[in-house]
A and B are shown apart, each in its own frame.
Chain A
Amino acid sequence: MIRPDAPILLEITNLHAQIDDQPILHGVNLTIRAGEIHALMGRNGSGKSTLSKVLAGHPAYTVTEGSVRFEGEDLLALSPEERARRGVFLGFQYPVEIPGVSNLEFLRVATNARRQQLGDDELDTFSFEDLVRERLGVVQMDPAFLDRSVNEGFSGGEKKRNEILQMALLNPRVAILDETDSGLDIDALRIVAGGVCQLAGPNNATLLITHYQRLLEAITPDFVHVMAAGRLLRTGGKELALELEERGYDWVDEELAAPRPASPVEAR
């Protein structure tokens, strides 16, 4: 839902970032207002996950230039846990397996960290179980997954559902979902899309990283961005996703090759 007067949640300006001395992001600009759903598309390796991890505060990445403001504050100055508590949520493209750590306990500690930030009471084990069982319904996940170690031995689709479950519990302001739709069967895709729609509201926003039009049929994006060589090459409405589906990304090469007087950045 586009409301030009809605407050800006996330404002990314000329963001440059690198990992292991390898520059990946070359000047990303993106403004996300409350209520909006943005889709981020682009070829493999174009830097989508890098952007998502930089936003979440992954310590392996260094921001070399630019800024990110979240609800008016300098997001980059915050630790990953502080970002999460304030409502930045990253659904991982590859959720991490953590043997020996119970999924239920993990979810409870995470939920309480967020609740504390929101000024809500911490939930004890019993009231948390009630909450988590209710939210399990959103992703139609078997409660048995709560008793297992975090993501350990989960199938690809189960891991993604677990990500959405976390999103449902953490109630984020900005949710960045990195290919949450990949590896899902048709039913799971519908469930995930339903979950995202259910959680999307006028006060929060979603950035969906995806390769497929499929997800965007279920979740109608307000904006579609195409990332190439570490920046956003083009922005459009939902029709841009359809166009990409038809034309592919060949045009990207032409556009990257064309001189861009506005920016000195070279494509790699």
Chain B
Amino acid sequence: MPTLSPLPPTARAPRGHDWLTALLKATAGPGGAAGSGADPLEAGREGARAALAHAGLPGRNHEAWRFTDPLPLTALAPHLLASPASAAPDQPSPLPAATGSTLRIHLDAPDTHARAAWPDGIERLEGEALRKAVLGSVLTDTGVEQEWAVALNTAIVPRVLALRVCGTVAPCLELVSQAGARGGVLPLRVLLLLEEGASLTLLQVHLAEGPSLTSVVMDIALGRDARLQHGLVARGVDEAALLAVTAVRQAAGSRWSQTSLCSGWGLARQEPVVLQSEGRADTRLRGLHWLEGHQLADTHSRMRFAGPEGSLDQLHKVVAAGESRSVFNGCVQVPRDAQRTHASQLSRGLLLSDRARIDTKPELEIVADDVRCTHGATISRPREEQLFYLRSRGIAAEQASRLLLRGVCEEVSAELPAAAGAWSPLSFLNAASQRP
């Protein structure tokens, strides 16, 4: 895996040096911007800061970032966004009301976490328990600790939420962040431990309305037979960037099912990294990227089966309009011990314009011989015959193409947790079909 290898020695400063330096400076000091004094990620911080300062922003020579240049990030204000609770001038748009069956937590307002009415089965980890959880974290196991997006997150003192889940949690846990109109960087870190047999529905929502970077690292461990139904709705704007890393370790019998819908970001990069540490677990990934204008979305997923009889069912969809660009890289590793693995990976792209571009690269590393691994990639254009069929029934061209696009998106959105409905996850369709 590509890590923060030092750049070849050159006389030049690392890419994005000034911006990174300013950002690191703004987030330096005891407790950093976390504000809580006790800093659970302290141990790894100096290393991450040093590595970042040394390596700079990843460039074309970084295989994992070859198509995705993070340079536009340097246009952002190199300081952290304030917590919404304490920042009146940055009041973002109102959120939909939380229903009785959801528990909403604002990731960007850690001062409110302690006051939340945690339901039965969820325990918030603090102090020593939190530090211990960080040490045994999945990031180390999955090897993503060293990756740029994670190192950046660690270096700039993310707001941390750590939860332990036991048994079946009834309400849907909503973890929400909102980068308002004022510019800056919003680093978030979530540790989630599902004990043996635990079951949770999680909806992660990231919104951005201004020139901002939302950097979120999810660190999730599923014990034996644990179940996590995980929805992710990420909606940004052209000036906003999202760097989301989700590292998941699954014990035997566990099931992680993630459905993610991502739209609107100028730059969005998602890195789901999964380790089935004993095999015999289920991983289900559903992803949809909706792209317009000059937006860029990059999904780098990595799945490793460290034991036999695991399964992966992955569908990645992209709808690309305008001059947008989509990158999908799906790595599946099936080492010798992972016999009888079933893995299926499918990426489907829909090009709405001639100037949009979709790059897809499956990376199957299969050593075990008794496995069923399939992958497929399709890129298509809107079907003229489908459009005509709808129009021949009196449905106007614009509405017809909207219906067709909704059909494409609903294959993914239908699998979001029910609570996602309140966030209008397909709202991008309303304005969509007018744009080329």
Interface of A toward B, CB cutoff 8 Å: 56-60, 79-81, 83-85, 90, 92, 95-96, 98-101, 105-106, 109-110, 113-114, 117, 149-150, 166, 170
Contact = CB atoms under 8 A, between A and B. Distances in A.
A58 B403 contact: no
Given A79-B397, A81-B396, A106-B403, A98 B386 contact: yes
A92 B393 CA distance: 11
Interface string B59-76: 000000000000000000
8 contacts: A56-B388, A81-B393, A83-B392, A84-B392, A96-B386, A109-B395, A109-B403, A113-B393
Contacts of A56: 388, 392
B9 interface: no
A109 B399 contact: yes
A85 B406 contact: no
A225 B239 CA distance: 63
B394 interface: yes
A100 B396 CA distance: 18
B390 A98 contact: yes
Interface residues of B, number: 24
Contacts of A170: 393-394
Contacts of A83: 392
Contact of A96 (B389, B396, B397, B410): B389
Contact of A81 (B386, B397, B403, B409): B397
A90 B410 CA distance: 28
B384 A59 contact: yes
Given A59-B388, A79-B397, A100-B404, 17 more contacts: A58-B392, A60-B384, A80-B388, A81-B391, A90-B392, A92-B389, A98-B389, A100-B407, A101-B404, A101-B406, A105-B403, A109-B395, A113-B396, A114-B394, A117-B394, A170-B393, A170-B394
A110 B394 contact: yes
B391 A80 contact: yes
Interface in B391-427: 391-397, 399-400, 403-404, 406-411
B391 A84 contact: yes
Nearest to B410: A100
B434 to A, nearest CB: 16
B385 interface: yes
B411 A100 contact: yes
A258 B7 CA distance: 83
Contacts of A79: 391, 397
Contact of B395 (A81, A90, A92): A81
Nearest to A60: B384
A106 B394 contact: no
Given A99-B411, A100-B407, A100-B408, A166 B393 contact: yes
Nearest to B407: A100
Nearest to A85: B394
A101 B391 CA distance: 14
Given A109-B395, A113-B394, A114-B394, A100 B389 contact: no
A98 B392 contact: no
A170 B396 CA distance: 15
B393 A106 contact: yes
A84 B393 contact: yes
Contacts of B399: 109
A106 B390 contact: yes
Contacts of B408: 100
Interface centre among B399, B403, B408 (most CB of A within 10 A): B403
A83 B411 CA distance: 31
Given A57-B392, A79-B397, A84-B393, A96 B403 contact: no
Nearest to A56: B392
Interface string B103-127: 0000000000000000000000000
A160 B410 CA distance: 26
Nearest to A96: B389
Contacts of A95: 389
Nearest to B391: A80
A63 B381 CA distance: 26
A56 B390 CA distance: 12
A98 B407 contact: yes
B1 to A, nearest CB: 35
Nearest to B400: A81
Contacts of B400: 81
A81 to B, nearest CB: 5
A99 B414 CA distance: 13
Interface string B129-150: 0000000000000000000000
A90 B386 CA distance: 14
A99 B391 contact: no
A150 B404 CA distance: 11
Q: In the complex, which of the residues B383, B391, B394, B396 has the most CB atoms of chain A within 10 Å of its own CB atom?
A: B394
